[in-house]
Structure 1
Amino acid sequence: MGKYDFTTRPNRLTQFTSKWQASETNPDLLQMWVADMDFLPIPEIKETIINYGQEHIFGYNYFSPELYQAVIDWEKNEHGYAIEKEDIVFIDGVVPAISVAIQAFTQKGDAVLINSPVYYPFSRTVKLNERQLVENSLKVINGRFEIDFEQLERDIIEHEVKLYLLCSPHNPGGRVWAKGDLEKIAELCQKHGVLLISDEIHQDLALFGNKHHSFNTVRNSNKNFSIILASATKTFNIAGTKNSFAIIQNKSLRQKFQRIQLANNQHEVPTIGMLTTQAAFTYGKPWLEELRRVIEENVTYATDYLTKNTKIKVMKPEGTYLTWLDFSAYGLAQPDLGEKLKREAKVVLNDGSHFGKEGKYFARLNVATPLETVKEAVARIARVFPK
């Protein structure tokens, strides 16, 4: 029995929660999609917010030395990544930071590459900023995503790619990229003058003995052409408090990034986001260690149950709390697949086609919820999609 409660599922129906909004009028629906967790908050973070409400005046604030140090210590202790205060640029979210990077380092019409399928704001952000989207399809080998590096280089050369958006660890596949993969990516970026943006928001959620390597820890020279994006929000379920950070060790890149950030008036972060981030990185390690064990148990249960009782192919994640489900054996594509899940199984999953053309027969399952909820969800899915 652990110190923290991961068995109680909070009632979020009265909290204006995006994930559970449809259940407010249809309470039979199980919401297993949006990538936030249905666990009780960390006590120290909750106390920080209570103290904020009781003690603070809600005016403008600056980034405290303690906040910077909390980030520096976390990166060093958890990921072996030595950074300094001036390397850190706070911004209200990783996705906004991607927009700033695209605007700062590319021009309209320039090619931006992603590995598809991938977290759908990647493609949306590229397109809305009027850049050319280059989709490098990932290959499924031995049940996990792999990069076809020969095709990757061809895509870079053919489209004259200026910027590469990497998702590390990968969403929706849960792949924790090996050091060798990151070294190959770095070699191609250096060879062809490509700037790399590495979204590492799931960096703390490597599972089953897998190790996350922050891109700049792989080779020291990587810092000359890369920007690392990370946050406490996914790890500690505080996305609504809005704070993330870019690590930009190259001064010239940092100045260009900050210039566009200021032009967009994105240089301020809510005070509550500063406080929750500092509290998470200061007090959250014991909770995170328990969380990983819970997620591993949930992933294992869902994988084993669906494999045994259905024809669904489960991509068991090496990291994150997201599971990529292949329904192709049933010959049902999105959006009909999602409608059948919702209407008959009463389970809402992410539409796989939103992540790219490769996701036509797929859905994404979020298992960051008490095990009993996972059991109910996969049992419902298996009744509708029997073996």
Structure 2
Amino acid sequence: MESKFDEIIDRTNQLDIKWGQSEKVFGSTDVLPMWIADMDFASPKPVLDALKSLLDSRILGYTAPPDSLYQAIIDWQKERHHMELTKEAILFSPGVVPSIALIIQTFTKENEAIMIHDPVYTPFSNMITLNHRRCVRSTLIVEQNQFKMDFIEMEKQMVEQQVKLFILCNPQNPGGRVWSKEELIQLAELCKKHQILIISDEIHGDLIFQPYQLASLVTLDSSYQEFVITLSAATKTFNLAGIKTSMIYVQNKFLADQLKSAQAKTEQSNLTTFGYIGTEAALTKCGPWLTDLLQYLSENLEIICAFFDKELPDVAYMKPQGTYLFWFDCSSLNMTDAELAAHFATVGKIGLNAGAAYGPAGSQYMRLNFAAPKSLINEGLNRIKAAFENR
């Protein structure tokens, strides 16, 4: 039976980074782009209908977030993630990365140390270094093809480097690991012990595969609300990256007041009407769409794993517990990281994210985005196989 997610939508004539920047990024226009983390699926119809209704009003004036949007966020987080929020604890931001920059600027000083995992989402380190802070990387351990935290080394570095802030990615990007409650508690207790503020980036937190469940850090102990700031958005879940809207959940009033003051200096909290309306429509009307999406992504993931097991049995990979990102080892090609990225683009004709961009521990890996129709997934897999077979 054909799914709505099977539809091929032509994105080449849009202002589209994923499909419109292939020549700039990969040096060719004939690669299949399966890199940047947005989906090749139509955004949910209730969101599109809400945005069309806005356009039909014919006036795009100044707006403010309505109380109904705050309530939609509160209800979603409580029902989906057992997080208790108040309106006062919710701040708006144009994106998770701008939120990270804001928090870095507000709560740390130049040359102070900020810790991240390695490998991890590239903008974490970018925001640290561009804001003239010291980036301390804690290398993740690989056990049974899954990432694990190295708590002994983490604490050693926290003390030696006098770390002030930790940026967590949950679920983890690029490996797709959904951190367990036990791991998160151990991390939080370390940070509490050493008075380290935590940013918990949970933008992929709704994209979790059964039987795994997201444990939002602030829900595990009420004391964690004093030093954990959670970042979230509807944009990743519902393929709405272009509306540029995210949320900062900060339940410590002192921290919230400082962030509000910092936002006021730049007007960062004033977002687009499209973001407010699109986010509310997504959170109030698109739960069934998300259920269908997760089923489709699960099917894609099984196709990918079966293909690697049969056609590329010597290639190690991480089966993600969350996200729509697939992380696989390319060291058998015996190439440098720069050669790897070029090889997949020129020989395989597929555009992937180079693992080295996620930190030194990402060397020799590539990242595949599998939020695409099955026909593109199958085509992409054949291109990956061609890249491995033609060295």
1:148 corresponds, among 121, 125, 150, to 150
Report the secondary structure of 2:200's partner residue.
strand
Give the structure 2 partner of residue 340 of structure 1.
343
Give the structure 2 partner of residue 192 of structure 1.
194
**1:1-387 superposed matches below 5 A:** 1=1, 5-23=4-22, 28-310=30-312, 311-386=314-389
Relative to structure 2, which stretch is displaced further, 326-335 or 91-100? 326-335
AA at the equivalent of 1:386: E
Residue 327 of structure 1 and its aligned partner are, at CA, apart by 0.5
Report the secondary structure of 1:235's partner residue.
coil
Report the secondary structure of 1:112's partner residue.
strand
Residue 360 of structure 1 and its aligned partner are, at CA, apart by 1.6
2: CA distance, partners of 1:146 / 1:346: 33
2: CA distance, partners of 1:173 / 1:113: 18
Residue 313 of structure 1 and its aligned partner are, at CA, apart by 1.3
C-alpha contact (below 8 Å) 2:35/2:353 kept by paired residues:
yes
Report the secondary structure of 1:234's partner residue.
coil
Residue 333 of structure 1 and its aligned partner are, at CA, apart by 2.6
2: CA distance, partners of 1:384 / 1:136: 31
1: CA distance, partners of 2:264 / 2:45: 35
C-alpha contact (below 8 Å) 2:14/2:20 kept by paired residues:
no
2: CA distance, partners of 1:324 / 1:7: 23
1: CA distance, partners of 2:18 / 2:132: 29
C-alpha contact (below 8 Å) 1:90/1:246 kept by paired residues:
yes
2: CA distance, partners of 1:89 / 1:69: 13
Residue 220 of structure 1 and its aligned partner are, at CA, apart by 0.9
AA at the equivalent of 2:20: Q
AA at the equivalent of 2:233: S
AA at the equivalent of 1:20: W
- Structure 1 residue ranges, 4+ long, deviating more than 2 angstroms after superposition: 22-28
C-alpha contact (below 8 Å) 2:92/2:247 kept by paired residues:
yes
1: CA distance, partners of 2:137 / 2:387: 33
AA at the equivalent of 1:18: I
2: CA distance, partners of 1:213 / 1:345: 38
Residue 41 of structure 1 and its aligned partner are, at CA, apart by 1.8
Residue 380 of structure 1 and its aligned partner are, at CA, apart by 1.2
Report the secondary structure of 2:210's partner residue.
coil
Q: 1:23 to 1:117 in 2, by over 3 A?
A: closer
2: CA distance, partners of 1:131 / 1:374: 40
Report the secondary structure of 1:13's partner residue.
coil
Q: 1:74 to 1:56 in 2, by over 3 A?
A: farther
2: CA distance, partners of 1:334 / 1:307: 24
Report the secondary structure of 2:368's partner residue.
strand
Residue 307 of structure 1 and its aligned partner are, at CA, apart by 2.8
Residue 371 of structure 1 and its aligned partner are, at CA, apart by 1.0
2: CA distance, partners of 1:341 / 1:377: 11
Gaps of 5+ in 2: none
2: CA distance, partners of 1:260 / 1:65: 23
Residue 384 of structure 1 and its aligned partner are, at CA, apart by 2.2
2: CA distance, partners of 1:148 / 1:23: 37
Report the secondary structure of 1:162's partner residue.
strand
2: CA distance, partners of 1:146 / 1:29: 34
Residue 330 of structure 1 and its aligned partner are, at CA, apart by 1.8
Residue 344 of structure 1 and its aligned partner are, at CA, apart by 0.8
2: CA distance, partners of 1:33 / 1:54: 35
C-alpha contact (below 8 Å) 2:347/2:386 kept by paired residues:
no
2: CA distance, partners of 1:306 / 1:263: 51
Residue 23 of structure 1 and its aligned partner are, at CA, apart by 4.9
Report the secondary structure of 1:385's partner residue.
helix
Residue 301 of structure 1 and its aligned partner are, at CA, apart by 1.0
C-alpha contact (below 8 Å) 1:307/1:313 kept by paired residues:
no
C-alpha contact (below 8 Å) 1:232/1:277 kept by paired residues:
yes
Residue 209 of structure 1 and its aligned partner are, at CA, apart by 1.3
Residue-pair matches, total: 386
C-alpha contact (below 8 Å) 1:94/1:229 kept by paired residues:
yes
C-alpha contact (below 8 Å) 2:13/2:20 kept by paired residues:
no
Residue 334 of structure 1 and its aligned partner are, at CA, apart by 1.3
C-alpha contact (below 8 Å) 1:309/1:386 kept by paired residues:
no
Residue 26 of structure 1 and its aligned partner are, at CA, apart by 5.1
CA RMSD of aligned residues (A): 1.4
AA at the equivalent of 2:320: P
C-alpha contact (below 8 Å) 1:350/1:363 kept by paired residues:
yes
1: CA distance, partners of 2:248 / 2:175: 23
Residue 365 of structure 1 and its aligned partner are, at CA, apart by 0.2
